[in-house]
Structure formats: structure tokens, C-alpha cells
């Protein structure tokens, strides 16, 4: 990745947006975004039609990194059960970081409340892909009802992520993974 001095104004804005929106929420003002990025408001509006469009582009840009964090380095060498558990183990590790604020995609959906906002559409697509991946893993692992298990796993992921991000729950004690293990056992996933 280019250093801040060599990065394009667009990249600097997207980096600043990712950092500030995650840390402070989507209500961060354009002034703060531009100041953090070292880009004028005029330049920002030449690159993006709105703050919402910039938020959507920032979320879209982070998808590969986000999804890579939740996937084992060699997914083909893991069982479906191990791949599912890996997601929750990674969330538990991430939640120990003092800067952890939960799932950035869930946060956007909760904060915006507008399902047609461009950032909501990006965030919803990420969450839908995650649920579909859980369903596929559940099916491959022999779950009795892969659809139901995928929904239950999303409920645990989003709930645990939100509670840990709000600092009302700790995940490093294994609570989320123990809960998921019990669900996998009950669903017959190997």
C-alpha cells in the first residue's frame, strides 16, 4: 500500500473514511474526513457525489481484507466445522484489540437505518455473503437444516460482535466459540 504522501487523494479519503467511520460512526462530518485525509472539500466532491457514496466506496474497498480475516489461510485443508469455528475464533481475537468496535458492516446497517443508502447496500451484501457461506459450510458439514444453522450463526456473529464492540461482553473467554460449538453439535455438523 502506498504511503500517505504518495497515495492518491481518493485513496487518502477512503482510508480516512474507513478509519473514522469505524471509530466514530457514520455521523462523522465531511470537514473531519477531509482534514484527516489532507484533501480539500472541493476535491472530495470532485471524487464523490456525496459522503454516502464515499462511505459505500470505503466499505466496498475493505471487503477483501475483511473476508480474508475470517477465512483460514488454507481453507481447503479445514473441515466445514473448522472453517465455521475459525470465523468466531478470529472475531474473539479481534475483539481483544482496544480499538475493536464490532463488525463495520453491521454498524453501518444499524446506524443508517436506510436500506436503500448505497453504504447499506454494500453492508447488506457482505452480511448476505457471510450467511450464504455459513449455509454452504453447514450443508457440506452435514447439518440437518443448513438454512436455519446459517441464520443462527449470523445471529451469534452479529450479536457477539455488537456486544463486544460496545464493550459489554468479552469474547476472549471462549463464550462465542462455545456457543457455536454447541449449535454445530446439535445440528450434526462434522
Give the chain's mean pLDDT: 95
C-alpha–C-alpha distance, residues 58 and 52, integer Å: 10
Question: Is 82 part of a structural domain of the chain?
Answer: yes
What are the helix (H) ranges across 25-103? 30-37, 41-47, 51-69, 80-95
Indicate whether 113 and 34 sit together in one domain: no
pLDDT digits (tens, 9 = 90+) for 3-14: 445 899 999 999
Indicate whether 120 and 173 sit together in one domain: yes
Indicate whether 49 and 119 sit together in one domain: no
CATH number for the domain spanning 19: value is 1.10.10.60
Indicate whether 129 and 41 sit together in one domain: no
Indicate whether 124 and 35 sit together in one domain: no
Question: Is 1 part of a structural domain of the chain?
Answer: no
Indicate whether 88 and 177 sit together in one domain: yes
Comparing CA positions, the residue from 161, 171, 174 lying closest to residue 130 is: 161
Q: And the C-alpha cell for 31?
A: 470537514
User: Does the predicted TM-score (pTM) go above 0.75?
Assistant: yes
**Residue 19: other Cβ atoms inside 10 A:** 16
How many structural domains comprise the chain?
Answer: 2
pLDDT digits (tens, 9 = 90+) for 121-176: 999 999 999 999 999 999 999 999 999 999 999 999 999 999 999 999 989 899 99
pLDDT digits (tens, 9 = 90+) for 128-141: 999 999 999 999 99
| Residue 85 structural domain | 70-187
Indicate whether 133 and 182 sit together in one domain: yes
C-alpha–C-alpha distance, residues 22 and 31, integer Å: 17
CATH number for the domain spanning 74: value is 1.10.357.10
Final residue belonging to a domain, choices 20, 35, 58:
58
Question: Is 3 part of a structural domain of the chain?
Answer: no
Question: Is 162 part of a structural domain of the chain?
Answer: yes
Question: Is 164 part of a structural domain of the chain?
Answer: yes
Amino acid at each position: 500500500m502506498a504511503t500517505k504522501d504518495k497515495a492518491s487523494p481518493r485513496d487518502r479519503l477512503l482510508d480516512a473514511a474507513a478509519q473514522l467511520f469505524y471509530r466514530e460512526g457514520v455521523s462523522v462530518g465531511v470537514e473531519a474526513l477531509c482534514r484527516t485525509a489532507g484533501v480539500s472539500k472541493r476535491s472530495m466532491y470532485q471524487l464523490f457525489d456525496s459522503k454516502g457514496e464515499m462511505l459505500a466506496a470505503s466499505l466496498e474497498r475493505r471487503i477483501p481484507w475483511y473476508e480474508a480475516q475470517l477465512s483460514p489461510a488454507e481453507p481447503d485443508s479445514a473441515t466445514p466445522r473448522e472453517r465455521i469455528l475459525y470465523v468466531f475464533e478470529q472475531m474473539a481475537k479481534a475483539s481483544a484489540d482496544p480499538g475493536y468496535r464490532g463488525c463495520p458492516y453491521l454498524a453501518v446497517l444499524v446506524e443508517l437505518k436506510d436500506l436503500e443508502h448505497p453504504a447499506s447496500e454494500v453492508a447488506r451484501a457482505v452480511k448476505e455473503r457471510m450467511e450464504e457461506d455459513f449455509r454452504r459450510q453447514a450443508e457440506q458439514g452435514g447439518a440437518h437444516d443448513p438454512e436455519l444453522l446459517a441464520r443462527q450463526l449470523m445471529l451469534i456473529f452479529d450479536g457477539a460482535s455488537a456486544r463486544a464492540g460496545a464493550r459489554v461482553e468479552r469474547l476472549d473467554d471462549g463464550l462465542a466459540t462455545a456457543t457455536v460449538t454447541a449449535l454445530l453439535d446439535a445440528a450434526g455438523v462434522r
